[in-house]
Every structure is written in C-alpha cells, then in structure tokens.
Amino acid sequence: MINQQYKKMLEGKSVIRELSEFAAARGGEIGYENVFDYSLGNPSVPVPERFAEVMRGLLGSRSSMELHGYSPSLGIASVKERIAASLNERFGMNYTANHIFPTSGAAGALAHAIRCVSAPGDEILTFAPYFPEYGPYVNMTGAVLRAVPADTESFQINFDRLEEMLSGRTAAVLLNTPNNPSGAVYSAQTLTRLGELLRKKQEQYGHDIFILSDEPYREIVFENVEAPYVSKFYDNTLSCYSYSKSLSLPGERIGYVAVNPGCTDAELISAMCGQISRGIGHNCPASIIQLAVSQVLDITSDMSAYETNRNLLYGELTELGFSCVKPGGTFYIFPKALEEDAVAFCKKALKYDLVLVPSDTFGLPGYFRMAYCIDTEKVERSLSALRRFVKEEY
C-alpha cells in the first residue's frame, strides 16, 4: 500500500519554492533579468575551465572500465588519498584515505554521518538560523532535530541556551560554518569554547557527543576573515563536505565525509558508512565525477564576485538603516526585517520585484535572507529597487 507518511509530506508548503515560482512567473511578464531574485543559493560563477579539461582528458585517456565500471563502495582509492592529502596540507590534519568517504554531495554525506553517530530517539542539536533541510535529514532517520535559539548579536553560538539544551539524549551537534543563511563564520574562540563544552558534557553523560560539521561554504570566505577548520577543535568530529559551492558543481552530487582520526571508532566509520549505504541506496558517487574532482582539488571557481556583491549589498543595507551582521563568507546576507513579521515584509518587497526569503523557514522569525550568487550587474540594478522599497513602505 502507498506509504501514507511520504504521501502526507506532499502537503507541506515551501516558502522558498513559492518565491521561486513567483520569480519565474514574474520573469515571464517583465523578463527574468528584471526580477531581483535573491531567493536561491545556486552558484552563479562558472565551473573552472580546468574541470572540463580534466573531464575531456579522462574521456580520452582512460579505459571504459576504469572510468565507468563499478567503483569500490567505500570510494576510489586514489580519490580518497588525494582528498586526504589536500586536507592535511591545508588544515594540518592527519587524515588517511581510510578516513575519507566519498558521497553524493553534502546531502549524501550528512545522510551517512547522522546515521553513524545516532540512533532513533536520540537528539541532534543545531543552531538557529539553520538550513531547513536539516529537519528532514535528521528527523527522517528517527533521530530528533532541536534548534538552539540564535545568538542574534553575531550569529555565532548562543552558549547559554546550548548548555541548557544539551542532555544525555544528545548524540550530536550539527553546525554549519560558514553559515547558510546568516553568512557568519564561526571564530576560533567560538569553536574552542564549543569543544571545551562538549568534552565536559561527554564526561558528564559518559557517552560520545559528535560534532557534525556541514561545510560546503568552507572556501567562500572573504578577505581578512579567518575560517578555522572545525575538526581541529574537537576529536569527535565528522566533517561533511560538498564541491557544489566551491567548484560550482551542485548537479554532479560530489562530496565526502572526513572522519577525524582521533574520534571514537575512527578506523571503522568509513566501513560503517559502506553498510549504511546498503540501506539507503547509495553505492558510490559517479565514478567519472570522483576521478575528475580529485584532479582539481586545490582550485575553486572564481568567487570574487561573491565578495563584490556582499560589499555592495552590505553597504546599501546598512546605509538604509538595516541592522545586519556583516557576512564573513558564503553568498548569503541576513539582515533584520523592518517589521516584526518578516513574511509580510518580504511580501511587500515583491511589489518592487525584490524576491527575498523570510527567515521563519530558518528557525528564527523577523529576518530575511538574500542569496547574492547572481550577476554583480543585477545586484547593482537592484539597489534602487531596495531604496524605493524602504522609502515607500517604511
């Protein structure tokens, strides 16, 4: 019989989807170039040309079996070795290939990591504002996601509330830095304090509490901003990565889980992920994509446009009187709305062809997110619409 739980999920509203649909429809009326669509976090800068060269090179030089044949369920060895070496070099870690588990994007990485460290009924804490998909990612495993209220000063971590919510039921803390939607980058001070708190709690409760570090924006960090590598601060860390943002490859579904060699059962986790894969339909990420990505590990798309856009928007927004934490990374900015009801605020913005996402979706009311992974030229044109919106409505 048709599974009723999944059928019921179809009734769920999706504010982001509705906004995107508005943007598309409005684009049909006035031309999409005239819609200031800040709704979706789709990388707008092209894939490095080197990636296409590498793909062509593979197609021309490797055998069919090597390129497209079944690859090992725990990932292609050379790919894992290269990823480990790259992370060790950049962040001073000591990963071996056995600590790297290639996955189908960060969604695939989290699907495995969550299952490695929790069981149905366990709690996983995350920090508002947070990526809404963490809800189904966690809850659909049978674990329970709970959001620690935001530190609205700086969008770092609200440690008082975190400490209140940690308990013997806590299996893990799921964090995202640089952060979607706030653009905040957790400081070394934040991470140090978090590590100390969790070590204290592990002792108090007598069981492991893991950090699941979701870090697809790790390379989108702006000038003079330090983005420390989370796993250096806490042994029981599984780092979940995706090349979607750094290489503009979201459609190719390629990322990994990196297991801190100092964590509990570190030598078994990759193999456990292989077992988890059997139950959730992942054999491995596409083999040619694994091979290609492994050859471009230390380059990224040209992301300077993101910083340019951030500067334009942060400048304009603050000038217009918005209260806003200056993003240290990502392509998001998260100002406070000019009225308490952010949904109403964003609805008014639509009249000016500004498509903004109200923050309620992210577990914190009263703010809005702008995804500025769009052409700088369009950001520039949008500023006057922003001015008119504020002037006429507020």
* Residue in 165, 225, 272, 385 binding its own copies, rule: CB under 8 A: 272
**Residues near 268 by Cβ (< 8 Å), separated by ≥ 6?**
none
Region 3-22 residues binding its own copies, contact defined as CB under 8 A: 3-7, 9-10
User: Residue 16: which of 43, 44, 34, 37 has the closest Cα?
Assistant: 37
Please, which residue, 109 or 128, has the CB nearer to its own copies? 109
**Per residue in 284-298, is it b (16+ CB within 10 Å) or e — as a string?**
bbbbbbbbbbbbbbe
Please, which residue, 1 or 153, has the CB nearer to its own copies? 1
Smallest separation, CB 164 to its own copies (Å): 21
Please, which residue, 190 or 301, has the CB nearer to its own copies? 301
Region 137-156 residues binding its own copies, contact defined as CB under 8 A: 137, 139-141
Region 316-375 residues binding its own copies, contact defined as CB under 8 A: none
69 binds its own copies (CB under 8 A): yes
248 binds its own copies (CB under 8 A): yes
Instruction: Quote the CA–CA distance of 86 and 237 in Å, as a whole number.
Output: 18
Smallest separation, CB 171 to its own copies (Å): 6
265 binds its own copies (CB under 8 A): yes
250 binds its own copies (CB under 8 A): yes
User: Residue 184: which of 160, 155, 224 has the closest Cα?
Assistant: 155
Beta strand pairing call for 237-242 and 255-259? antiparallel
253 binds its own copies (CB under 8 A): yes
What CA–CA distances, in Å, run from 342 to 323, 353, 379? 14, 16, 21
- Rounded to 5 degrees, what are φ and ψ at 156? -85, -140
295 binds its own copies (CB under 8 A): no
208 binds its own copies (CB under 8 A): yes
Smallest separation, CB 104 to its own copies (Å): 6
* Residue in 288, 305, 370, 390 binding its own copies, rule: CB under 8 A: 288
**Per 3-state DSSP, what percentage of the chain is helix, strand, and coil (rounded to 5)?**
45, 15, 40
Instruction: Quote the CA–CA distance of 169 and 85 in Å, as a whole number.
Output: 36
Region 29-48 residues binding its own copies, contact defined as CB under 8 A: 42-44, 46-47
Smallest separation, CB 109 to its own copies (Å): 8
Region 80-139 residues binding its own copies, contact defined as CB under 8 A: 103-105, 107-112, 115-119, 122, 133, 136-137, 139
Cis status, amide bond into 129, omega within 30 of 0: yes
Instruction: Name the residue type at position 196.
Output: E
Residues written for the chain? 394
Please, which residue, 53 or 392, has the CB nearer to its own copies? 53
Please, which residue, 43 or 335, has the CB nearer to its own copies? 43
Both tokens assigned to 227: 């983005």
Please, which residue, 56 or 146, has the CB nearer to its own copies? 56
SS3 132: coil
203 binds its own copies (CB under 8 A): no
